[in-house]
Structure 1
Amino acid sequence: MELHNDEKRLLKAFQESNEKTMNLEELSKYIEKEKVMRAAFWLSGRDFLEIIENKTKLCELNELGNKSLDFGIPERKVANYIKENNLESIPIKELSKILEKDETGAALGNLKKKGLVEIDKGNIVFKNLNYEDIEEEILKKVSINPDLSTYSKDEVKIVENLKKRGFLNLKEVVDRSFEIKDAGTEFIKNPIEIKEEITQLTREMIVSGKWKDYFIRPYDAKIPTEDIYPAKAHPMSKIIQEVNEVLISMGFKEVKSQIVQTEFWNFDTLFEPQDHPARDMQDTFFVKYPNTGKVPKELLEKVKGIHECGTIDGEKISKGWCYKFDENVSKRTVLRTHTTVSSIKYLASLSESERENPHKVFCIDRVFRNETIDYKHLPEFYQCEGIVMAEDVNFDNLVGILKEFLRKLGFEKVRIRPAYFPFTEPSLEAEVYMEGKGWLELLGAGVFRPEVLEPFGIKKPVLAWGIGLSRLAMLRFGLTDIRELHKNDMEWLKKTAVNE
């Protein structure tokens, strides 16, 4: 059996050192470090060597974690503020004066979860301002000792929670050692001769006859090699592409709309009242410039009538919302909070003759919500929404379309349960079954209400549904933290299968 020179050099290291097990640093004294792993893989394939991997999980504080170590986690900041100002309590609404915007919700939730406070008429009252917090202790411990294997089970749970809160990162470090096996031991009992060898013949070698002076190593296709990770699309891009192809295969047409919309198109046309909580600054991004946009006057009057008293062109079709509709609110600009606005604008663009034909359209695009960033929320994410307009389509057709759509995405078990959305009736939520996780909610759907369709002159039923693609990606790739999709973790990106 003829070995590659690098394999010989690696075995010669064991021969000269008389060691049975050596690590990477020790072997690099005999052979270049970058060649050690390749030669070791080859030798392991010949059963000369065993590669032993010791994996260690490490936790390390990130920028937020180091900042919290110095100035306190959000809960401690609130307690310190009350102490320093000799207060007995603090109104919840004043938390924004103490904390960053994205800390407020988490701080209040954790204060209650840890049993540190009571809420009395909108005020936060601490039971003990000098409390001890195990999370703070763990942050200190991480700054000194990053090795997670030395932590207890309870401490590991706290570390995982601190990761979800964004205070630290976890990573896995692999320490490799190499142990010579019986076949390798037998081989090194004899002198190891390292000849100059070539792996590629040139014209000059053949013509001059120099090739006779070299050893030509035979090619062995069975020798294991290191994993190679080719360039590929980001997992989120692949999800978007897959959903796009599935819907086009089902006969849908893709439509688009602008990121900036007026409240009229984003909310009013969907029969969402102007005092609905989803339209507050806490949930929606309002555009500073331009802060208003154009709204079609005739359509505005129709939508206004629907909202105020449920009438359109003098005909009463519902009770409406019974409030005073403000046209100035309709003209305010926002970053769209859903892709349904694309479908609504598509329906509004149809001519009278086009409304007689069936339509199947969808939109995949970015949407924006004023959310606190945590393990399941981001202020920007991808959503897919679609509609079907045709004579006599009904709720059963909607269920059938959704089941086929989800089946094509790989979800064989689907169940439907009732739901509520302001602009559809009846409405549903679809859940999919995943082994080891049970039933998980994936999308919402329903039949557009007459209050949505009548202003556009549409008399046919319109089936509508929407799905968050980040949620789909988390289920597909087994993620528990939505932020992992966008962290550019090279190890995770490399190991995510191309065909997933």
Structure 2
Amino acid sequence: MEDFKLHNDEKKLLKIFQEAYDNKNITKLSVEGLAKNELMGSETKVMRTALWLSAEDKKLVNIIENKSKIAKLTEEGKKVVEKGLPERQVANYMIENDLKNIPIKELGNILDKSEVNPALGNLKKKKIAKIEKGNIIIENLQYEDKEENTLNKIKINEENKNSDLNNYNDEEKKLINNLQKRGFIAIEEEVDRAIELTEKGIEFIKNNIIEIKEEISQLTREHIVSGKWKDCHIRPYDAKIPSEEVYPAKLHPMTRIINDVKEVLIGMGFKEVKNPIVETEFWNFDVLFEPQDHPARDMQDTFFLRYPNKGEIPEMVKDIKSIHEKGMVGDKKISKGWRYEFDEEISKKTVLRTHTTVSSIKYLASLTDEEKEKPHKIFSIDRVFRNEAIDYSHLPEFYQCEGIILAEGVHFDNLIGLLKEFLNRLGFEQVRIRPAYFPFTEPSLEAEVFVEGRGWLELLGAGVFRPEVVEPLGINKPVLAWGIGLSRLAMLRWGLTDIRELHKNELNWLKKA
């Protein structure tokens, strides 16, 4: 045998190759297959041993890796393969009930609430149906759907272990991308590894008898007392060789994003404030100068509480009523107001807060006259709730971060500089600002960041609170405000295309994230 310092695991792996070469002239074996051999026993052991044998001083084997992307059905995908896509379920319902059209409002009786909007959108997008006077009209109820064909093909390929994305044509790949956004398909990366003998390795197994002797990894008292240590081969250690992967307990990716943002803001001199998730319409809407008949306040966007369905509102409701009705703060007229009759009973209704701006407003309202003379920098990170249909980019519950600065002489340029610094510290090197509109700030802006491969993406909104918002609170200084959705930030950091992946708690993804 050549002058190699081979330990037993290396000898065992070469022994397997020696037998394969002698029997069938095989020089390449999969890691999975080698792991099943009783001499090895695990893929970790195979890889560790192959790394030793591929080192510069030996070069007896090469490690070959082939990476592939695999399309797999999610749990939702398996369901729609069985019962059809939401749009197909509508067509099937019409067939079963001998209908030519169906009112849109009846979709809720056929589909889950989360499926209604996607079904309606895809019926129009795929030109399956016409929408006339609130009715869905499908002329061909036996239509062919390429997305369904693709889902069925993926199911068959999965069963045959042949779901590599390379097995699909360009049109199917586009359909797979759309189905992934709809949550029916997940794309996973798989790595196939094999070990191959080099020319040197082939010569080695041809010309050497490989003997496997007893090997010990540590000396015991018995070895020393008996003198057996003199005859034992002590296995050498290499601290640089990779060991089996261990996944210790760690924080959830969403929690880590929250902690990172907190650390940045505290480092920039902000302090955190907290408030309850249940608020009155007074604090959630009225104080922000949102009219009581604004569409965002109805059941389409807001969760209203059945119990308790009313809460207490402060005395300052009179000032808010005046600003809404006449644009007046005391004797001072600052705008036209909304010119409608303000209803205090509406203000008392309870809701799940729709934004964290309510924390900023309640903080400003709590300041004494003396405190209002001092500068303030505060932020809030918390859950907010909106009555959204669940899809790849929307959830009814998500995390939002809100921040404000109250100080004499601060202006719009200060806000731009602050946001650029904030986003730079979060790891976004390229930031640009665009004008925007928000109901309770003027002027307003949106900040966009450049993400390699995805281009410019809008990340946060900001502006200067309108006088109608701050003056009823007794504040006559400018207040800079901004907000950012942390779920979108998390999606960018981990390269996700579906917001639901953040909350599925899929163990393999959590281990790698």
Coarse TM-score class (shorter-chain normalised): over 0.9
Answer yes or no: is the 8 Å Cα contact 2:72–2:163 preserved in 1.
Answer: no
Q: What secondary structure sits across from 2:76 in the alignment?
A: helix
Aligned to 1:15: 18
Answer yes or no: is the 8 Å Cα contact 1:10–1:30 preserved in 2.
Answer: no
Residue 115 of structure 2 corresponds to residue 103 of structure 1: yes
Among 481, 490, 493, the alignment partner of 1:476 is 493
Amino acid at match of 2:276: Q
Cα distance between partner residues in 2 of 1:129 and 1:118: 12
Residue 290 of structure 2 corresponds to residue 272 of structure 1: yes
| Mapping of residues 79-478 of structure 1, within 5 Å | 79-146=91-158, 147-149=162-164, 150-188=167-205, 189-225=207-243, 227-296=245-314, 298-478=315-495
Cα distance between partner residues in 2 of 1:421 and 1:492: 36
Answer yes or no: is the 8 Å Cα contact 1:42–1:224 preserved in 2.
Answer: no
Which is worse superposed, 69-78 or 267-276? Answer: 69-78
Cα distance between partner residues in 1 of 2:73 and 2:253: 27
Among 43, 51, 54, the alignment partner of 1:41 is 51
Answer yes or no: is the 8 Å Cα contact 2:376–2:405 preserved in 1.
Answer: yes
**Normalization by structure 2: what TM-score?**
0.91
Gap runs ≥5 in structure 1 = none
CA distance 1:144–1:449, shift in 2 (3 Å) = same
Gap runs ≥5 in structure 2 = none
Cα distance between partner residues in 1 of 2:59 and 2:302: 62
- After TM superposition, give the deviation of residue 96 of structure 1 in Å: 1.8
- After TM superposition, give the deviation of residue 226 of structure 1 in Å: 5.0
Answer yes or no: is the 8 Å Cα contact 2:100–2:139 preserved in 1.
Answer: no
Cα distance between partner residues in 2 of 1:392 and 1:27: 70
Aligned to 2:80: 68
Structure 1 vs Structure 2: percent identity of aligned residues?
A: 66
Residue 37 of structure 2 corresponds to residue 29 of structure 1: yes
Cα distance between partner residues in 2 of 1:67 and 1:80: 16
Q: What secondary structure sits across from 1:148 in the alignment?
A: coil
Cα distance between partner residues in 1 of 2:271 and 2:323: 30
Q: What secondary structure sits across from 1:334 in the alignment?
A: strand
Which is worse superposed, 373-382 or 464-473? Answer: 373-382
- After TM superposition, give the deviation of residue 184 of structure 1 in Å: 2.2
Q: What secondary structure sits across from 1:353 in the alignment?
A: helix
Deviations 1:238-296 (A, max 9, x none): 22111111111111111111111111111111111122222122212222222221111
Deviations 1:146-185 (A, max 9, x none): 2333322211221222222122333344333321112322
CA distance 1:375–1:459, shift in 2 (3 Å) = same
Which is worse superposed, 453-462 or 320-329? Answer: 320-329
Cα distance between partner residues in 1 of 2:311 and 2:87: 41
Amino acid at match of 1:436: G
Cα distance between partner residues in 1 of 2:285 and 2:389: 22
Which is worse superposed, 146-155 or 421-430? Answer: 146-155
Cα distance between partner residues in 1 of 2:504 and 2:7: 40
Cα distance between partner residues in 2 of 1:286 and 1:183: 74
Which is worse superposed, 474-483 or 423-432? Answer: 474-483
Which is worse superposed, 122-131 or 443-452? Answer: 122-131
Answer yes or no: is the 8 Å Cα contact 2:7–2:236 preserved in 1.
Answer: no
Amino acid at match of 2:295: P
Which is worse superposed, 156-165 or 81-90? Answer: 81-90
- After TM superposition, give the deviation of residue 326 of structure 1 in Å: 2.1
Cα distance between partner residues in 2 of 1:434 and 1:72: 36
Amino acid at match of 1:59: A
Amino acid at match of 1:259: I
Deviations 1:288-340 (A, max 9, x none): 222221111x1112112211221232432211112222222211211111111
- After TM superposition, give the deviation of residue 484 of structure 1 in Å: 2.2
Cα distance between partner residues in 2 of 1:26 and 1:404: 53
Cα distance between partner residues in 2 of 1:419 and 1:231: 42
Amino acid at match of 2:122: N
Q: What secondary structure sits across from 2:251 in the alignment?
A: coil
Which is worse superposed, 420-429 or 17-26? Answer: 17-26
Answer yes or no: is the 8 Å Cα contact 1:59–1:169 preserved in 2.
Answer: yes
Answer yes or no: is the 8 Å Cα contact 2:48–2:241 preserved in 1.
Answer: no
Cα distance between partner residues in 2 of 1:462 and 1:430: 18
Amino acid at match of 2:227: G
- After TM superposition, give the deviation of residue 346 of structure 1 in Å: 0.6
Which is worse superposed, 60-69 or 395-404? Answer: 60-69
Answer yes or no: is the 8 Å Cα contact 1:2–1:217 preserved in 2.
Answer: no
Equivalenced residues, count:
495
Cα distance between partner residues in 1 of 2:136 and 2:214: 78
Deviations 1:335-365 (A, max 9, x none): 1111111111111111111111110000111
Cα distance between partner residues in 2 of 1:122 and 1:363: 42
Answer yes or no: is the 8 Å Cα contact 2:378–2:403 preserved in 1.
Answer: yes
Answer yes or no: is the 8 Å Cα contact 2:34–2:46 preserved in 1.
Answer: no
Cα distance between partner residues in 2 of 1:83 and 1:14: 62
Which is worse superposed, 43-52 or 381-390? Answer: 43-52
- After TM superposition, give the deviation of residue 116 of structure 1 in Å: 1.7
CA distance 1:207–1:416, shift in 2 (3 Å) = same
- After TM superposition, give the deviation of residue 207 of structure 1 in Å: 4.1
Answer yes or no: is the 8 Å Cα contact 2:183–2:498 preserved in 1.
Answer: no
- After TM superposition, give the deviation of residue 376 of structure 1 in Å: 1.2
Which is worse superposed, 28-37 or 266-275? Answer: 28-37
**Normalization by structure 1: what TM-score?**
0.93
Cα distance between partner residues in 2 of 1:117 and 1:128: 9
Answer yes or no: is the 8 Å Cα contact 2:281–2:346 preserved in 1.
Answer: yes
- RMSD of aligned C-alpha atoms? 2.1
Answer yes or no: is the 8 Å Cα contact 2:435–2:445 preserved in 1.
Answer: yes
